[in-house]
Amino acid sequence: MTGSAREFVVEADGGSRGNPGPAGYGAVVRDAATGQTLVEAAEYLGVVTNNVAEYRGLLAGLRAAGELDPDATVHVRMDSKLVVEQMSGRWKIKHPDMKPLAAEAARVFPPGRVTYEWIPRADNKHADRLANEAMDAGARGEQWSPSTSTAELDAATDRAASAGRTAGSRRSGDASGVAPAGAGEAADVAAAGGDALAAGERLPRTTTRTGAGSAVSGGAAAAAGASGGGEAAVSGGDAIAGERVGRAARTGAGGAVPGAAEAPAAADVRAAKVVASPGWGPPDMGSPATFVLLRHGETPLTPQKRFSGSGGSDPSLSPVGREQAERVAESLARRGTIEAIVASPLARTRETAGIVAARLNLAVTVEEGLRETDFGAWEGLTFGEVRDRHPADLDAWLASPDAEPTGGGESFAATATRVAATRDKLVAAYAGRTVLLVSHVTPIKTFLRLALGAPPESLFRMELSAASLSAVAYYADGGASVRLFNETSHLR
């Protein structure tokens, strides 16, 4: 293990068609930094209660996380109020079938390394789908198989199609006879000393660390539309947020779900799924090379929105920029997923990378291919100043990726060629590892554009804030998946 211990998010669920009745569980382990699904687990259990199935899902998720990294910290998210309250130590465990399961779950990680959070059922669809797949497989006399699972895609599509509806829906999938968690656990909740809940009732979000210590949050939220800070016009335009999607190989052949016309958001999820893993790849392509893309902190030129490329004054970080670097360093240290750091040779990126490296106890490798575009005679000027002095050149630059800035600067097409070669070099060097690349607006946007298969003009439609984080995963079959875009929660 390199660096700090990793941080995982475990989502788990269980269901019983009859309560007690034919039952199954589902569990998902995600990387807290990127949101990437690392492990899916599901099993048909025979005839047990809904609550026992939920505990079995929790246990499976914790064990899977422990196999990935026994030193990890884990944030558990479940829609079972009973399990969350009992594992947090606030409610007693009275049911004889649940006591040994709870004790076993508590032993997987030492006290203080697992946190528990109740979430609405609508936010736990991935694990719910896995549980229903397991029950469906059991009804056919089969075992659940990850190679045929479509739970991740189905959950993403369902979330998109049901946006705006409340979280009190019945359990999804072919589970018309599955007892809703709220109703199925009401008696056990009352017996445990808590208030019985009506099925589907929303609860306040609660996050609790078992044992001593403060609460932590799981996952990495993608934040778009933050304040400017980009290099002049390159950072302008509409902010976009990338949604994490799973690999298409998990859907089996084709991966399409028949039915009526999809909601636009659901269609976007399916389109991104194809980009993430084109072709007929095997169900397991191994761990991807994941590039966490960090834009450097502010320089004195950043708030003035001046062109600041690789051909100008090479400014260092401002005091605000150094504080931003410190904050992102702390955030990355908590996530514990970075295994190497590679930086552009410019002063602002090397300084940002150095602050992060000192916090993570890692070395910094300098890579020439990560430098910013050379903006020629526009270096140090604002967009308005360039418009006044070089209007024809600016119009040509805005219209074509092949156009160069005045004075022999670098075109976006040339930058894309350089970034693509650097990407291929680093993917080969860091296969299966998570690497922090400290770079600039144009190279980071180009990494994202190439991963999405977006046209060159998309560079003008992305907002990338100073000290923001984005992430792209690269798989062995050549596929790429954008995991995170312009995340800035660590700065707030």
135-165 tens-digit pLDDT = 999 999 999 988 889 988 887 776 665 554 4
Q: Is 217 exposed, middle or buried (CB count within 10 Å of its CB: 0-12, 13-18, 19+)?
A: middle
- State how far the Cα of 202 lies from the Cα of 197, in Å rounded to an integer: 9
Place of tokens 């026994």: 70
- State how far the Cα of 162 lies from the Cα of 172, in Å rounded to an integer: 12
pLDDT of residue 154: 80
Q: Which one of the listed residues 7, 152, 372, 463 is annotated catalytic?
A: 372
- State how far the Cα of 240 lies from the Cα of 345, in Å rounded to an integer: 28
Band (351; pLDDT cuts 50, 70, 90):
very high
In DSSP terms, 16 is beta-bridged to: 23
In the predicted model, what is the mean pLDDT of the chain?
78
Positive or negative CA dihedral for 182, 184, 185, 191?
A: positive
Band (232; pLDDT cuts 50, 70, 90):
very low
87: which 2 tokens?
């594992």
pLDDT of residue 458: 93
Helix (H, G, I), strand (E, B) or coil at 475: coil
Q: How many CA atoms lie within 13 A of 438 on its CB side?
A: 30
Report whether pLDDT(218) > 60: no
Q: Which one of the listed residues 126, 296, 390, 440 is annotated catalytic?
A: 296
pTM: predicted TM-score of the whole model, two decimal places? 0.49
Band (284; pLDDT cuts 50, 70, 90):
low
pLDDT of residue 201: 31
Q: Name the nearest CA neighbour of 329 among 297, 305, 306, 372.
A: 297
Report whether pLDDT(192) > 50: no
Query: What's the residue count for the chain?
Result: 492
Query: What are the φ/ψ torsions at residue 298 (nearest 5 degrees)?
Result: -60, 150
Report whether pLDDT(187) > 80: no
58 in Cβ contact with 105 (< 8 Å): yes
The one-letter amino acid at 4: S
- State how far the Cα of 33 lies from the Cα of 483, in Å rounded to an integer: 9
Report whether pLDDT(47) > 70: yes
- State how far the Cα of 342 lies from the Cα of 357, in Å rounded to an integer: 10
Report whether pLDDT(305) > 60: yes
Q: Name the nearest CA neighbour of 190 among 54, 323, 60, 91.
A: 91
- State how far the Cα of 328 lies from the Cα of 475, in Å rounded to an integer: 26
The yes-or-no answer on residue 296 being catalytic is yes
Cα distances from 492 to residues 125, 470, 487, in angstroms, run 29, 17, 11
- Percent pLDDT > 70 in the chain is 73
pLDDT of residue 378: 96
pLDDT of residue 479: 87
